[in-house]
């Protein structure tokens, strides 16, 4: 179900174009991760947020924490 939710939400509601900025709230949830991958496939600039640093650190991603 997360895959269908991500696909419909991203392509039908968001309808991004190549090179646009995409912000994903709750980027490390099931749907958010898929939307991030779909956005990267569309060559969009992706920014995601997560509830805590602990949710992000196991992935080895570039974290720029702002308070």
Residue 65 lies in a domain: no
The residues near 30 (Cβ < 8 Å, ≥ 6 apart) are 2
- Residue indicated by tokens 């696909």: 7
Task: Judge if pTM exceeds 0.85.
Answer: no
Domain for residue 66, yes or no? Answer: no
User: Looking at residue 53, what is its pLDDT?
Assistant: 72
State which H helix or E strand residue 24 sits in: strand 21-24
| CATH number of the domain encompassing residue 20 | 3.40.50.720
Range of the domain at 50: 2-59
Residue 24, domain member (yes or no): yes
Q: Tell the residue number behind the tokens 């895959």, with chain if given.
A: 3
Question: Quick one: pLDDT at residue 52?
Answer: 76
Please write the tens of the pLDDT for every residue from 7-28. Answer: 999 999 989 999 999 999 888 8
Q: Please state the domain count of the chain.
A: 1
Would residue 39 count as lying in a domain? yes
């Amino acid at each position: 179900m997360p895959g269908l939710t991500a696909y419909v939400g991203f392509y039908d509601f968001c309808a991004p174009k190549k090179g646009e900025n995409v912000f994903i709230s709750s980027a490390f949830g099931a749907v958010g991760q898929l939307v991030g991958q779909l956005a990267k496939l569309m060559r969009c600039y992706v920014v995601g947020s997560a509830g805590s640093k602990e949710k992000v650190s196991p992935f080895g991603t570039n974290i720029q924490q702002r308070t």
